[in-house]
Amino acid sequence: MKIVNLKIAIACTALLCVSEAAASQRKGTWVEEGGIIKFIVGRAAATAQAEAEAAYGRETCDDVILIEPWISLDEVNEMVPRPGAKVLFRRGGVWRGQLQPRSGKPGHPIVYGAFGKGPSPVLEPSLDKSREDDWRRVEGRAGVWMTETHSGVDIGNVLFLDSAGDVVCCGVKKGSLAELATERDFWCDPESFCVFVKSAHNPATISAAVELAEKIHCIDEAYMHDVVYDGLALRFSAAHGIGGRDVKRITVRNCDISWIGGGYLYFDNAGRGVRYGNGIEFWGPCEDVLVERNNISQCWDAGLTNQSNIDGAVQRNIAWRSNTVDKCEYSYEYWQQGAAAVTENVCVEENIFTNAGMGWGHAQRWNPNGAHLMLYDTTARTHGFTVRANVFGRSADTLMRMFNDCRDSLAFSGNSWDAQGARLICRYHGRPRRNLRYKYPDRLDTTHADNLAEIESQGSGARVFTPDDFDEFLAFLAEFSKQ
């Protein structure tokens, strides 16, 4: 085994002289995915695919590459470690920006992990705006302050931290400057990406630190394969903690992911922004995925999710095991649409899900609907999907929301449901899986509302289970378990 210290290994002066201005000018591309036009920050799809393909031909190694805090993520992203290498960040360190991993090959994954003593190494794609001179008053707008970001992407959250680095509170995102009315309301100008905050005092003086969450995944793993993330702390992203499509043989374990989401994913037909952000998301085709022993909290949407609306996508062999998810709008979310899409062998097991819909984003949503299991409309051919031995704790709205009649493809067993900790236990819509009207994102583009009459218009046997209906709910689940 060879241990590489980057203080010696990096000899290229150009890599060591990345200016702050250059690092903050995020470059991205507009892409179309499943009918949605998105702005993606990170490697272009063609580049990522080429890198992933090249990995199969590389020699393997057992190198350990140690990343010190003064080595930037831009420098780490320039590295091309061989399959089998370990890229380890020093515990106690903080890195700003986005990690763009490299692929290993079967049996020889590249591991991104931690070394040393202390707290988990932190990766955060946020902008520090903690100095008073970062902010200036806006003329003609009483109590409104602005800061330049030089970002090029949406700012989805403004976070106020105490001296220990913990989040005390966050801003409330508004759609225009004119809407800033209450303390900590903020608006991100979609042209300049300057941020405006309503505050009686300079925002830098009302807390120990101020972080602006950019719409950038903490880890962009699109098209990667044979990668392990172990013992990392990911936070302050307005997109996903870990996100990317078309992945294979990915393991995520022992990671802490928090304060995720809030950026605009796209704009509906009326020009209103639809916000998003998941702790760990697998989008589109994905196979042989293991997510275990992670702590996920304070995500705009789901803590954990695999989802897609891409034609022909296959999601296969996915295990979500022994994770703790707290204060996310959804603890686990699943849906898949698209012609000839397939989902098989997915297991959600032994997780502890608490306080769904009780996080930072719930009150800001146009559709607040906290749920531990959010099973949206799915048209994919699905089998081998099991939910077992999980603990479902309190929820602001319901423990489970299920849109389709999927008794032929989904099994429940051994779960613990806190019937007294939720207003509702389950909202079941009974919608068919074929010939659905208003599939995602069509319904949002058309209605931008969670209109139950529209959702249930095609359903049969729709049912709402309250805590008083707990025995009936268990009998309902037994119908699935028999399949």
What's the pLDDT at 11? Answer: 29
Give the pLDDT of residue 4: 64
pLDDT, tens digit (0-9, with 9 covering 90-100), for 246-283: 999 999 999 999 999 999 998 888 888 899 999 999 99
Whether the per-residue pLDDT at 329 is higher than 80: the answer is yes
**pLDDT band at 39; cut points 50, 70, 90:** low
User: For residue 37, what pLDDT is reported?
Assistant: 67
Return the HEC string of the chain.
CCEEEHHHHCCCHHHHCCCHHHHHCCCEEEEEECCEEEEEECCCHHHHHHHHHHHCCCCCCCCEEEECCCCCHHHHHHCCCCCCCEEEEECCCEEECCECCCCCECCECEEEEEECCCCCCEEECEEECCCHHHCEECCCCCCEEEECCCCCCCEEEEEEECCCCCEEEECEECCCHHHCCCCCEEEECCCCCCEEEECCCCHHHCCCEEEEEECCCCEECCCCEEEEEECCEEEEECCCCEECEEEEEEEEECCEEEEECCEEEEECCCCCEEEECCCEEEEEEEEEEEEECCEEEEECCEEEEEEECCCCCEEEEEEEECCEEECCCEEEEEEECCCCCEEEEEEEECCEEECECCCCCHHHCCCCCCEEEEECCCCCEEEEEEEECCEECCEEEEEEEEEECCCCCEEEECCEECHHHEEEEEEEEEECCCCCCCCCCHHHHHHCCCCHHHHHHHCCCCEEECHHHHHHHHHHHHHHHCC
Whether the per-residue pLDDT at 80 is higher than 60: the answer is yes
pLDDT at 133: 97
pLDDT in tens, 150-169: 988 999 999 999 999 999 99
Q: What is the pLDDT of residue 93?
A: 98
pLDDT of residue 13: 26
Q: 453: pLDDT confidence band, cut at 50, 70 and 90?
A: confident
Q: Which of residues 449 and 331 earns the better pLDDT score?
A: 331
pLDDT of residue 7: 42
In this prediction, residues 332-343 reach a mean pLDDT of 95
| pLDDT for residue 324 is more than 80 | yes
Q: Give residue 448's pLDDT.
A: 75
Q: Is the pLDDT of residue 119 over 50?
A: yes
| Percentage of residues in the chain having pLDDT higher than 70 | 92
As a whole-number percent, the residues of the chain with pLDDT over 90 amount to: 77
Residue 421: band (very low, low, confident or very high) from pLDDT cuts 50, 70, 90: confident
Report the pLDDT averaged over residues 226-233. Answer: 98
Predicted TM-score (pTM) of the model is 0.93
Give the model's pLDDT for residue 236: 98
- The answer on pLDDT for 86 being more than 80 is yes
Give the model confidence (pLDDT) of 352-372 as tens digits: 999 999 999 999 998 899 999
Map out the domains of the chain as residue ranges. Answer: 1-125, 126-212, 261-483
pLDDT at 36 (0 to 100): 67
